[in-house]
Structure 1
Amino acid sequence: MTHSLQQTALELFQSAIDRADPAAAVQAQLSAEPLAPLAPGGRRVVIAVGKAAVPMMRAALAALPDAPSEALVITNPENRADVPGAEVITGAHPVPDQTSAAAGARVLTLVQDLNASDQLFMLISGGGSALMVAPAPGLTLADKARVNEALLASGLDINRMNLIRQSLSDLKGGGLCRAAAPARVTAFILSDVIGDDLRAIASGPTVAPLGSRGDARALLQSEGLWDQLPAAVQAHLNTPEGSAKTPPAQNVLIGSNRFSLEAMRDRAKAAGWHVPDLVDDLTGDVSDAAQRILDVATSTTTDRPTAYLFGGETTVRLTGTGRGGRNQELALRIAQAADKLPGEWVFLSGGTDGRDGPTDAAGGLVTLQTWGAITASGADPAALLANNDSYAALKAADALVTVGGTGTNVADVQILLMRPTA
């Protein structure tokens, strides 16, 4: 019976990924609302950036009435593929490198001479913040990389990280719109940010920034990160912004974590599962998220098979030297607390992009037996957890979820299936 629960959890996870299919989302939106026709003599530049850039560009090129004057795809190496009619380059993720800087420079070159008759069509998905970078004047890529590494290890949520990233960039926080002005800008956006704040997705290249340099400075100081920053970054954040405004763009949300949660709910209900209210804001530290999941699952009594569905993006405060990711650590923490859940159950936590941290796993799928299976393998699960080594722990119990790169990203989903025992 446990095996069937595991299969059901994997099928629900796949339905979340399928609902976030980037090509289908682009096709549906262009069918419902085609782009405005070009002005006489106008040019259309199409740029796709993010983990879903390849399928989004393919769908756009197939649906547009004529070939664009320029088409550029920027994605991560795992998701790279040829796109007829488009130039394809890669950046680095999650920490940008020289390839990311080259991608940012290429974008600025493409848009800097656009005029009011031209159109910039952006296809934006998760990961774009690191894949395409353009350090602000006075900053180097090494400066930005040091800041990004500190942010990823800090436990800050994505919105607060992106406030800081935007303040150090010529592209983020509406910088792309400012560079492309006075061209008309339309963006289709696949959200990997909980709450779908368009300013935070890929650090908001086509929307106004989350805040000012002063806001970023205050946040870094309050979190004890200021002294870790390079001197050039401190000097930049101490300098007030200019008066340039961000031109408006047409930003259209075409996919999100909430859409994928609803797809899982519909599939679970069709299969006869009782599904309580969706939880679409599972954020914060993984230890707190694990407790919240346990609280939700044990706060009500049910005598029928129940699927508790969660969506969000948690954080991990790194204190060890192990390898893993937020989904793997969350699954391991649920396995540690197995005796608090009644009946027969399985729990899956996975990233919809198929990549959890610097590993080949999307997340973990655990049961009542997982913690003991790790011990039986000769490993110490508590020690591995303390060392942020959730990958090794789950691998020892054959509890990793590995689906490969999915070509999409709408953050993470969690599935807790519970079935009362006779």
Structure 2
Amino acid sequence: MTSVADPRAFLRALFDTAVAAALPTSQLSRFLPPPPKGRTLVVGAGKGAAAMAHAIEDMWPGPLSGLAVTRYGHGLPTRAIEVIEAAHPNPDIASETAARRILAEASALGEDDLLLCLISGGGSALMALPAPGLTLDDKKAVTRELLKSGAAIDEINAVRKHLSAIKGGRLAAAAAPAQVVTLMVSDVPGDDPAVIASGPTVADPSTFADARAVIEKYGIAVPDTVRRHLEQATEESVKPGDPRLARTTAHLVATPQDALEAAADLAYRAGIAPLILGNALEGESREVARVIAAMARQATLYDQPATPPCVLLSGGETTVTVRGNGRGGRNAEFLLALAVALGGHDKVWAIACDTDGIDGTEDNAGAILTPDTLARAAALGVDAKARLADNDGYGFFSALGDLVVTGPTRTNVNDFRAVLILP
């Protein structure tokens, strides 16, 4: 039984439980196909790729080989599957090298062979192969601007797929006629396989026109080469019904909902009423914070939507339109905006963390909010509203000693938020 005598520890236990439920290793064996007559090639991309590759080596009943690319610091020792580390969220030369090698090895497969793909969040940046006529610098420039723009992940990945030689089903098409089985850890709202890591092995319903619309919507400045590529639209991504995908299947092995349900079960056993608000919340972090702050106030005043003690749980991927010069990911931004909106409410505590252990590009997973957060900040001369205006959630919570630092978790089912409301 977890006690709320220590709300900070309880919130951290909720997050740790959510992450544990998102680890793919316990679920992989359920979805493994029989060994093929020919070769088994394992390829992976994402923050969970090394952990998944490590697990596959222990589970697979026959010979295999392969290559997996993960974020710097997220690797694990493997025997038969080579692990490469690369940059995230903006790709580097290691990302391109890994993608080029993966595509070449998949292209060499035959009808009796199996391509086993291990895909998790972060794969879009970690396996980055520019389309013909584009350079890695082109892709980096566009990615950098998209990440600052406040665009949703499906919009960002619609662009990425149309600047790529490997995403949007192209990896599976290159492997045809081999059998392709993809095991995916979802980090996207709605768990759409075509959006997870930009869907390298699944059909892509988005188009060049969609990609151009995203660029125009957010006023993204793109290199001339990128603009010409999007306008010429000479080679679309692989569409539903393409015969090259006839022998492909994809399975979700861990999702945001799994994480939320595990946390809800822990809360229930602790005597705290859990309310799952949704596993796919999107929008500006500070706007989502205002809504959830209003819900927390409603619970304290009117016992709605639940009577305290209760906890509001949510997942998804919010966005931050960067206007300041501070440090901080979307979870720190959410919590700082929540603190401002609550104004030091004495009944509300909260945690917001990325389940991969990295909030944006910082070294923390997220942070914890306590009833006295604003008071402690003021005593240190730290202005919460000014820090929020500067997008400096990391700096704010670092000054208070309230960052949550886990290191790489080697999974990723997006953000986890828990708002604890006490009587």
Q: TM-score, normalised by structure 1?
A: 0.94
CA distance in 2, matches of 1:21, 1:83: 18
3-state SS in 2 of match to 1:315:
coil
| 2:393 maps to 1:390 | yes
Equivalent residue number for residue 420 of structure 2: 417
Deviation (angstroms), 1:364: 1.2
CA distance in 1, matches of 2:192, 2:26: 22
Deviations 1:69-94 (A, max 9, x none): x2212111111222122211112100
Query: Aligned letter for 1:86?
Result: I
**2:36 equivalent among 35, 38, 47:** 38
CA distance in 2, matches of 1:135, 1:353: 26
Deviation (angstroms), 1:375: 1.9
Equivalent residue number for residue 64 of structure 1: 60
Deviation (angstroms), 1:113: 1.3
Identical pairs, percent: 38
| Conserved 8 A contact 2:54-2:77 | no
CA distance in 2, matches of 1:290, 1:24: 33
Equivalent residue number for residue 271 of structure 1: 270
Deviations 1:13-63 (A, max 9, x none): 000000011211213x24xxx413313xx1110112111111111111111
Equivalent residue number for residue 234 of structure 1: 227
Deviation (angstroms), 1:2: 8.0
**1:337 equivalent among 338, 341, 350:** 341
**1:133 equivalent among 125, 128, 133:** 128
CA distance in 2, matches of 1:130, 1:327: 20
Deviations 1:259-302 (A, max 9, x none): 10011111110111112343223211012111121233234433
3-state SS in 2 of match to 1:193:
coil
| Conserved 8 A contact 2:344-2:374 | no
| 2:198 maps to 1:203 | yes
**1:372 equivalent among 365, 370, 375:** 375
Query: Aligned letter for 1:276?
Result: L
CA distance in 2, matches of 1:210, 1:374: 48
Higher deviation after alignment, 1-10 or 87-96:
1-10
| Conserved 8 A contact 1:338-1:367 | no
CA distance in 2, matches of 1:16, 1:166: 30
Equivalent residue number for residue 7 of structure 1: 9
CA distance in 1, matches of 2:107, 2:35: 21
Q: Which runs of 5+ in 2 are unaligned?
A: none
How many pairs are equivalent?
Answer: 410
CA distance in 1, matches of 2:5, 2:363: 23
Equivalent residue number for residue 313 of structure 1: 317
| Conserved 8 A contact 2:343-2:374 | no
| 2:92 maps to 1:79 | no
**2:361 equivalent among 358, 363, 368:** 358
Q: TM-score, normalised by structure 2?
A: 0.93
3-state SS in 1 of match to 2:80:
coil
CA distance in 2, matches of 1:242, 1:356: 35
| 2:111 maps to 1:116 | yes
Equivalent residue number for residue 290 of structure 2: 291
3-state SS in 1 of match to 2:317:
strand
3-state SS in 2 of match to 1:261:
helix
3-state SS in 1 of match to 2:286:
helix
Q: Which runs of 5+ in 1 are unaligned?
A: none
3-state SS in 2 of match to 1:88:
strand
Deviation (angstroms), 1:237: 0.6
Equivalent residue number for residue 52 of structure 1: 48
**2:148 equivalent among 146, 153, 157:** 153
